[in-house]
Structure 1
């Protein structure tokens, strides 16, 4: 079976994208039905400002991970990128899931639940800070960061030798 890994990735990406689009469509439809049919106080301004970037992220992930096939014979041309990759893709999924939770909370609790979305920029700031401090401490050993001299870690054997007075003990 040629390209088994590529076919597996294509199938996984396709099923993940279908599930994502169905959940997203259901949540957005629920919000709009609650807004227009039942005249519940839901602010469309918050919805547009906070949900449209998520829709853009969703369509970007679709474009990134959608497998492409040859039209002539139906063979797999490209499986798409791995949608479970770490880094920026993972962060985009986090934003998507959190916004879905916020839309669900707004449907249940009202417009005040949009304040839950403030976690996204706070999380971004925390990630940037932790990345910067991690990079700074990583460069400290090369003389590029921190400005402090790090003492080399001693092994357990060296600590035992110092405890005995620096001499080897024979049995």
Structure 2
């Protein structure tokens, strides 16, 4: 049963990588054809710089996910890693897709569409910012609470229901 799963993963990875290479080749051919047709040599530097991360990611995904077969009998030696995995692999696919969208936009709208690529680092900074401050806020409860809560009689950390009960004088909640 494990061999069947490995074979299906190998087939899925191979088809995904072949499709990815075909789309990348088509987009690069279209861009270069339009670039040389309209004689825009200044766009080549931006093209090289902004496609370099996507090409590096595509090369890494190729090395990571391409199945390996034995030369003697053609049996599957390694199915490769799952290219549909979440986490870092998922983010790499997102960058690759966004690069394709930017290249298509540049082909249709012109060179100014490379500015769409700015969304990647802006989104990364946003994720980092919210993760850091969300974690900082979440870890603040582990420090024993703030001094304001402790000096205000202890009801600052209580839920709304507990605060209402304390106002009415019933069921006093004690905090340790």
Q: Deviations over 1:46-86 (max 9, x none)?
A: 10110122111111111111111122222211111111111
Q: Distance in 1 between matches of 2:169 and 2:64?
A: 62
8 Å CA contact retained: 1:41, 1:110: no
Deviations 1:103-131 (A, max 9, x none): 11111111010111100110111121122
Partner of 2:157: 151
Q: How many residues align?
A: 165
Partner of 1:23: 23
The separation in 2 between residues aligned to 1:11 and 1:159, in whole angstroms, is 60
Question: Cα 1:72–1:105, aligned 2, differ >3 Å: closer, same or farther?
Answer: same
Give the Cα–Cα distance (whole angstroms) in 2 for the partners of residues 147 and 71 of structure 1.
69
Structure having the higher helix fraction is 2
Q: What residue in structure 2 maps to residue 48 of structure 1?
A: 48
CA RMSD of aligned residues (A): 3.0
TM-score when normalising by structure 2: 0.79
SS of the equivalent of 2:12 reads: helix
Give the equivalent residue in structure 1 for 2:110.
110
**What are the ranges of 5 or more consecutive residues in structure 2 without an aligned counterpart?**
150-155, 172-176
Q: CA offset at residue 95 of structure 1? A: 0.8
Match of 2:86 in 1: 86
1:6 maps to 6
3-state SS of 2:9 partner? helix
Gaps of at least 5 residues in structure 1 are 167-171
